[in-house]
Structure 1
């Protein structure tokens, strides 16, 4: 991996470690976020090496299954970051969303890297075409992996503190309280289009619909007033 890859202003880097199924996002050489992902069912399925994002697609159709891009059954989710891996050009291997959130964190794919839909939406909005992507299986921390591929990086990412019992639930929240919220909304007829413990756009829309029905402020945020109306602690 000779040479050093210097970061231009505004440059990005993605590092994926198949050993723990995590994806690290660097902005200007600083470790900014870490996400859970799913990778190949067998070690050989997801290619390893240094690649780059060569195309970005919204609602890519699932061609082999004849499923439109915006269909909830589409296993590719709503965002596709195509990679130039194994002599392909963003058509075969990608970082993409998924309609099976339960698979995230496991070895489940035919070779692609799966993310939660709302998390790949965020990543998609951050990274331009030509963003470098490193994929490996390593026991080393992300900064060491990046350095071994010639990238000068820094930063010690600290995950957000777990929510307290009185926490406000809103878009981006995750955990058991969100699961309970999704179950409650669904039981009341406000579909969250899945119960996965992740507060995304569908859960937000269900909250707003409930708030409208109850004459509450329609902000999609579950604070004490909305929790009380839902009968949640």
Structure 2
């Protein structure tokens, strides 16, 4: 069990709720910070900032943590959205645990603190905008799949708002659209390419977007076929009645696009 540093009294309760939940999941997993970094793909320093309430964790980091800890990602994402509304960056502080060093923090000038707060506020605004686009897209897709009065019986092309915008950490977008009865995400149109652990590129990003569209998180949309993506593929194959081998081939592509 980690010996956590007490969170500052001035910390917003919504942020405190998220950080406390993350700390409990980390303790329950029995993993060290370095092990958690290796399992999620986010660096140990990043997790120190997230668990020390010095940085708001990105949604993809929470999805990866949920995958590792067996937690419902929707719950963590909901806590994050609430915390983002009350987020104010705290000065850099050492994360006090039983297995981490406690280096002295250099004093920060008011100018640097103001700049940091402005940058975080901009990031939060961007995250909220993307989240709104995701909710609108899901509602549109649900309405189309319900077969209501506005549904068309002929093959059509429909573009939806992007499910995920490209960022420095995730260079591939997820622009879901349905064309001639097949789903596409804007990264690749392949239906035959064989993918497995170790593959990289837009074909992998396409599969990751389609897995997310199917309601199964592959981790980040980074174009890297790693353990999280393999696990998501196996879940999808099991649900679709396919051979569960963790590889994306013609049969899995057909099910993803159908």
TM over 0.5: no
Tell me the TM-score normalized by structure 2: 0.30
* Larger proportion of helix: 2
Higher alpha-carbon Rg: 2
Q: Whose RCO is larger (CA < 8 A, sep 6+)?
A: 1
